[in-house]
Structure 1
Amino acid sequence: MKIKYYIVAFASLLLTSCSDFLDLTPISEASSANYYKNTSDINSALSACYGSLQGTYQYGEYFISLMELRSDNVEDINPGGAAGMFYFIDNFTATSGNNVVRYAWKELYNQIYRCNNVLASIDVVTDAALKKQYEGEAMFLRALAYFNIVRLWGAAPLILKPVTAIEAKGYGRSSVADVYRAIEEDLEAASGMLTSAYDDDNLGRATSVAAKALLAKAYLTQQKWSAAATLLDNIVKDYSSKYGLQNTVADVFDVNQEMNKEILFAVRYSKSVLGEGHGYNDYFKDKSVIDSKLLASYGNEDDRKAMIEYKKVDANNNVIAKYYDTFDATTAKVGFDLPLLRWADVLLMCAEAHNEVAYESSESSKALSYLNLVRKRANAVEYKVTDLKDQSAFRKAVLEERRLEFPFELHRWFDLIRTDTAIEAMSKVGFTITKNDYLYPIPKTEVDLIDNPETFPQNPGYN
């Protein structure tokens, strides 16, 4: 059976012991690091770490709002839905009391809490190879959580070990630089501990290539262009025998061949197992939410346009082709995975990094070659060097290519932020924003609980 992040019964102890990052609920001895006694316990705890990704408060629903709905790709057309909490995120009026913001924060720190417990108890694993693997997986998942935290909120509490409730209250917001340093250290370590691929029974676990690709994205986000270019070149060189572009974009999202050679890491689901499937998120199934300018950006020959057109599932459901799946007769759920890292992302990051290091006016430049590999697979017209005459033009082309390649894959908002193009992009769809809107408010519950503006301030522009 392929790994699908099944959350075992004892994982509820972890949820109740740290339901909010700083809610100061007493941490029971049973749920702390000393609970884990053997390899099976650690494997189960690690499954709970993966399980955090599936839920409503992360990639199951709320991240779609925070990372995709916020962007110029999608709009919320239901102001009254869920008491407006998604609509307020879409139109930049979300406050520190918004429950999407609050519970996303909560679940990310829950994930970190779980990972910290695994890492603190890793010595109970007696098999050296398995211990190394589990440690690398926990580091990868902790780094992923912190990467999302720092991009959503900026400076944040940096907790790298199990802590008590009283200890938790003493953590202030660490600097963005310190959080990124911890992310890099985790991913550098994980990339050396993990294997590059697994057998069918373990598909879905973090790999060395996923760790390196996420590290490259962290470099890119910090504008560490040379480090990103070097790492991405090595990924292409070292892993192209195992990973690469699928023949067509449709093949990437074929639910009958998930975890194919293009998928480096995905949030996995199984519609046939009770509790492991999911429904269709509104932003995948409502025809009116896709921005018309996005649809108009595709050339007529571009295969990717069809991937965000709608297919009928049944009498009550249409869904974008990218995430088409039929409902299981028993569970009444669908089970398509949500890819977080794929080979096309590696190629476009590599193109971007090389262009930022030094624009090269050559048809054989690495940057142009990587960009055109993605366009060629989509049957889009390939660029000539004369089409992209300088670094600025190339930069804009890569950003646009990412928009065409990854809609509804939760990249767009972060791409706009890290390239400092969000203000311009959102103005084109009717929103006037400032750089304060690049971050979300720290949940009011956390700010009020700590009650120390020096160590735990609210983000600028929010109360």
Structure 2
Amino acid sequence: MKKIFFACLVLFLTSCERLLEEVPTDRLSQENFYQSKDDLIAALNAVYSQVRGANSYGTNYPAQLNGMTDYCISRGTQIPVSEFQGLDGTNIARTDAVWRDLYQSINSANIVIQVTPNVASVSEADKNTIVAEARFLRAFNYYNLVRNYGGVPLRTAPIFEVSQTRGKRASVEEVYKLIIEDLQFAENSLPKTVSAGQAGRPTQGAAKLLLASVYLTRENWAGARDKADEVIKSGVYSLVEVKTSDDFEKLFGADLATTPEEVFYIKYARITGQGWGYPSYQHPADGPYTTGVRAHFTLPTLPLIRNWSDKDLRKDYNLYSSYTNRSGRLTTFPAAEPICFRKFRDLPANPAGNDFPVLRYAEALLIYAEAASQANGGPTAQALEALNKVHRRAYGYLSTTTSPVDFSLAGLSAASFRDLVMTERAYEFMMEASRWYDLKRLGTTKLKEVIKTARGKDVKDTHLMWPIPKQEMDNNPDLSASDQNPGY
């Protein structure tokens, strides 16, 4: 059965009356509840609940991020996201929900981290693995927070009531310090691999690759290069080879349990209440794929779309301008919104079973390519080869063998090579909620230039960060009005 781990998670989440009845949430006697490894695993599974939910990776989070790019335009209530002038009340409510769910997940992780050492019946090795998984997830959540809100309150102990919600706004540097410490612990204590039935749980490779991403964001080029290289040299992962555009279903398809390219994915399943909501944003209500609301579209005039080679198999896989509706009639999208995205697709009768690919092997290769070049002051042969592997695969060539579409080192500077990598990342990770982060990594000036060129929009500084929720400002006595992000 597809995604056994989260099928088990469903059973846990729907049979937690015992947990809710026996564990008071207003005092630390909760610690006495955890008596076995199974109890700790159940608590660990709960950390994923908010990450997978509609307010986080389930729908809102990727929808907001994809709409803030140079190739994707939002429709409906998310139009302000794509105007780059700051968020309106409707979309602030969505980012408030992201904040709430990320912190709830952090709180669940903190419970696991706190109680696990005191469970006498569990071996020290198992304790380390459980704590490492919780610390990985805590780091993952804080990484999402710091990139969208800047410095945030650091909470490393459980909170059981609103009166305990406090904490000064930490600096960006302090948040990253905790993230790096958590990930360093995780990479030393997580298993190298997990069984197919546990797909979705983080491994050493996931901790290393997330750490490489953190280093890349912090412009620690040597650190990013080395961590990505450790993932590459581990031998655990490989690119999924393709010959046709439809072969990318072997990488993103809704029927898949896992692939050789998966490093860390948010897992979903074709089970009511456990499907992935975001694919509905990509498709129309009457189309052949996941029943949707068509919340995103693109234009053939946008530079990345206009310059995308038809020979790149990712183009046909990602984009479509017409479809046969459920009555058998050929339908084209409106002239003002002529192209939609179809990377994530499932049959309309099912909750979407696609997984969200947070970290995959192509990321390791492209982080290595960029970081190795930046650290060296220009591209190396190894950096070029890492880039070419992803590029070859995109055109249907074997990734490990030279091809007619290979880039050459001739005439490439550090800056021009980085541009190649950034373009490759845009195509490779299209609609995977990473483009906005990539543009932010290039600096505010470059980000604004890219958006202005592509969309004709002037990006307000207000749009660069999401607002700290009013509820947090009201309930946290350690925050003042001056702690709010500019413009909100």
By the TM > 0.5 criterion, same fold? yes
Q: Deviations over 1:391-450 (max 9, x none)?
A: 111111111110011011110011111112321121120221144422111112222333
Distance apart, 1:312 and its partner CA: 5.3
Would you say 1:189 and 2:185 are equivalent positions? yes
Q: How does 1:265-280 map to 2 (within 5 A)?
A: 265-271=264-270, 273-279=271-277
- Structure 2 Cα separation of the partners of residues 113 and 174 of structure 1: 17
- Structure 2 Cα separation of the partners of residues 33 and 211 of structure 1: 27
Q: Deviations over 1:330-362 (max 9, x none)?
A: xx4121111100010110000110111123466
Q: Relative to 1, partners in 2 of residues 1:13 and 1:216: Cα closer, same or farther, differing over 3 Å?
A: farther
Q: Which amino acid aligns with 1:409?
A: E
- Structure 1 Cα separation of the partners of residues 199 and 296 of structure 2: 35
Query: Aligned to 1:289, which of 287, 290, 297?
Result: 297
Q: Which amino acid aligns with 2:430?
A: P
Q: Relative to 1, partners in 2 of residues 1:87 and 1:36: Cα closer, same or farther, differing over 3 Å?
A: farther
Give the unaligned 5+ runs of structure 1.
Answer: 17-25, 79-83
Q: How does 1:6-85 map to 2 (within 5 A)?
A: 6=10, 7-9=12-14, 27-29=25-27, 32-78=30-76, 84=77
Query: Aligned to 1:426, which of 443, 446, 451?
Result: 451
Query: Aligned to 2:409, which of 368, 385, 388?
Result: 385
Q: How does 1:67-216 map to 2 (within 5 A)?
A: 67-78=65-76, 84=77, 86-91=78-83, 92-95=85-88, 98-123=92-117, 124=119, 126-165=122-161, 168-216=164-212
- Aligned residue in 2 for 1:252: 251
Q: Relative to 1, partners in 2 of residues 1:14 and 1:424: Cα closer, same or farther, differing over 3 Å?
A: farther
Q: Which amino acid aligns with 2:465?
A: L
Q: Which amino acid aligns with 2:368?
A: C
Q: Which amino acid aligns with 1:265?
A: F
Would you say 1:315 and 2:326 are equivalent positions? yes
- Structure 2 Cα separation of the partners of residues 194 and 75 of structure 1: 39
- Contact preservation (8 Å) 1:33, 1:118: no
Give the unaligned 5+ runs of structure 2.
Answer: 243-247, 284-293, 334-339, 397-404
Would you say 1:344 and 2:344 are equivalent positions? no
Secondary structure in structure 1 of the residue aligned to 2:74: coil
Aligned length: 438
- Contact preservation (8 Å) 2:261, 2:362: yes
Secondary structure in structure 2 of the residue aligned to 1:323: coil
Tell me the TM-score normalized by structure 1. Answer: 0.87
Would you say 1:300 and 2:310 are equivalent positions? yes
- Structure 1 Cα separation of the partners of residues 110 and 324 of structure 2: 41
Q: Relative to 1, partners in 2 of residues 1:203 and 1:436: Cα closer, same or farther, differing over 3 Å?
A: same
Higher deviation after alignment, 251-260 or 336-345: 251-260
Distance apart, 1:451 and its partner CA: 6.0
- Contact preservation (8 Å) 2:266, 2:355: yes
- Aligned residue in 2 for 1:412: 435
- Structure 2 Cα separation of the partners of residues 190 and 313 of structure 1: 47
- Contact preservation (8 Å) 1:262, 1:342: yes
Distance apart, 1:453 and its partner CA: 5.4
Q: Relative to 1, partners in 2 of residues 1:287 and 1:37: Cα closer, same or farther, differing over 3 Å?
A: closer
Q: Deviations over 1:234-257 (max 9, x none)?
A: 2211x2x22011102442113333
Q: Which amino acid aligns with 1:289?
A: F
What is the percentage of aligned positions where both structures have the same residue? Answer: 29
Tell me the TM-score normalized by structure 2. Answer: 0.82
Q: Deviations over 1:157-213 (max 9, x none)?
A: 100111354663431111111100100011110111111211122111111100110
Q: Deviations over 1:114-147 (max 9, x none)?
A: 0000111113251333322211111111111000
Higher deviation after alignment, 194-203 or 304-313: 304-313
Q: Relative to 1, partners in 2 of residues 1:120 and 1:257: Cα closer, same or farther, differing over 3 Å?
A: same
- Contact preservation (8 Å) 2:129, 2:190: yes
- Structure 2 Cα separation of the partners of residues 46 and 269 of structure 1: 17
- Contact preservation (8 Å) 1:57, 1:63: yes
Q: Which amino acid aligns with 2:87?
A: A
- Structure 1 Cα separation of the partners of residues 65 and 460 of structure 2: 17
Q: Which amino acid aligns with 2:306?
A: A
Q: Relative to 1, partners in 2 of residues 1:360 and 1:452: Cα closer, same or farther, differing over 3 Å?
A: closer
- Structure 2 Cα separation of the partners of residues 282 and 48 of structure 1: 25
Distance apart, 1:321 and its partner CA: 4.0
- Contact preservation (8 Å) 2:26, 2:161: no
Distance apart, 1:110 and its partner CA: 0.3
Distance apart, 1:263 and its partner CA: 1.0
- Structure 2 Cα separation of the partners of residues 456 and 277 of structure 1: 40
Q: Which amino acid aligns with 1:442?
A: I
- Structure 1 Cα separation of the partners of residues 52 and 88 of structure 2: 25
